Amino acid sequence: MPFLVSIARPGTSAALTGAHVVLRPPVAADFESWSNLRHESRNFLMPWEPTWAPDELTKEAFRRRLRRYAQAARDGTGHIFFIFDKKTGALMGGCQLSNIRQGVAQSAATLGYWMGERYAGKGLMTDAVMALIRYCVTKLGLHRIEAACLPDNAASRRVLTKAGFVEEGVARKYLKINGQWRDHVLFAIIEDDVASGRMQKG
């Protein structure tokens, strides 16, 4: 269940809360939890993600990720949140907004996400996405947030639908997933949807 998140204003690092989750930017101390969760969820995640690098789960690869995330936040082009259980503090997954576009696009962004296998199917990602959308619209001033998922990723489609996203069409050979260019179903939510309560209705 890949999830991409980006934020329009550089340096944003506020923690966000949902009903059952807390979202915050990753730090170096998250490496072991992240590596373990990704490793145990490898077969669950790989069909929905870009091909993993040979050193995907190493500490050095994680450090490179943190540097890229920090640079994107400074540039205002992207931002990552890790998702934690509000009660236990356990790392459960992650979200990312990317591809911020200003001007006539009015700060549109692309959303992506992933969830560890043991935490999937419990409504936690929907909770995280809804918290993130509220923050993006009310605090960051994003007008439109876009997302894309594989047609056969039923779990991801449920997350987006429950969070109030509207299906808008299909993009052919949109992203290279697990080594192959794949069609993706396109979704979007706009600030009017949030204001009207569509997100809460799902």
In whole angstroms, what separates CA 140 from the centre of its chain? 16
The CATH class, in words, for 16-147 is: alpha beta
**In which band, very low, low, confident or very high, does the pLDDT at 107 lie, cut at 50, 70 and 90?**
low
Q: Among 114, 82, 115, 77, which Cα is nearest to 98's?
A: 77
Q: Among 3, 150, 178, 144, which Cα is nearest to 79's?
A: 3
Q: Is the pTM of this model over 0.75?
A: yes
pLDDT value for 74: 85
Q: Can you give the residue ranges of every domain in the chain?
A: 16-147
DSSP state of 26: -
Using CB atoms within 10 Å of the CB of residue 83, give its burial: 0 to 12 exposed, 13 to 18 middle, 19+ buried: buried
**In which band, very low, low, confident or very high, does the pLDDT at 30 lie, cut at 50, 70 and 90?**
very high
Contact 113, 97 (CB under 8 A): no
